[in-house]
Structure 1
Amino acid sequence: MPLRDRLTALLDRDESTAAPSFEFRDGTVVAAEVSGVGADWAALQPSPARTGAIIAPLSAIMSIGMPHPDLLRSARPVAATSSLAERMTLGFALRDLVRRRVGVTLHLVHGRSLSGTIDRAGADHLDLAVHEPGAPRRADAVSGHRLVPFEAIAWIRLEGAALPR
Structure 2
Amino acid sequence: MRWDALFRDMEAQLAAAAGLAAETEISDRVRMELREISLQDRLRSQSGKQLVFDLGTAGMLRGTLRHVGEGWVSLEQERGAALAVLSQVVAVRGMDRFASPTTGKVRLGVTSALRSIARDRSAVVVRSAGAPADGALHGTIDRVGSDFLELAVVPSDQPRRSANVTGVYVLPTATVAAVLSQQHNGWA
TM category, shorter: 0.7 to 0.9
Spell out the pairing of 1:1-165 with structure 2 (5 A cutoff): 1-13=37-49, 19-46=50-77, 50-66=78-94, 70-73=95-98, 76=99, 78-81=100-103, 83-84=105-106, 86=107, 88-109=108-129, 110-111=131-132, 112-160=135-183, 161-164=185-188
> Contact 2:48–2:64 at 8 Å: present in 1 too?
no
The CA deviation at 1:82 is 5.3
Q: Comparing both structures, which one devotes a greater share of its residues to helix? A: 2
Contact 1:134 1:159 in 2 (8 A): no
| 1:29, distance to aligned residue in structure 2 (A) | 2.1
Q: How many angstroms does 1:151 deviate by?
A: 1.7
Alignment-derived partner of residue 27 in structure 2: none
**1:83 shift after superposition:** 1.9
Among the aligned pairs, what percent are the same residue?
27
Aligned position for 1:16: none
CA distance in 2: counterparts of 1:24 and 1:51, whole angstroms: 19
Which structure 2 segments of 5+ residues have no match?
A: 1-36
Aligned pair count reads 148
Q: Distance in 1 between matches of 2:143 and 2:58?
A: 27
Over the aligned positions, Cα root-mean-square deviation in angstroms equals 1.7
Higher relative CO (CA 8 A, sep ≥ 6), structure 1 or 2?
1
Higher strand share: 1
| CA positional deviation for 1:81 | 3.3
TM score, norm. by length of structure 1: 0.82
CA distance in 2, matches of 1:100, 1:134: 18
Shift of 1:154: 1.6
1:42 counterpart letter in structure 2: V
Q: CA deviation at 1:12?
A: 4.2
1:99 shift after superposition: 1.2
Give CA deviations for 1:18-37 in whole Å, capped at 9, x if unaligned. x2211013251232211101
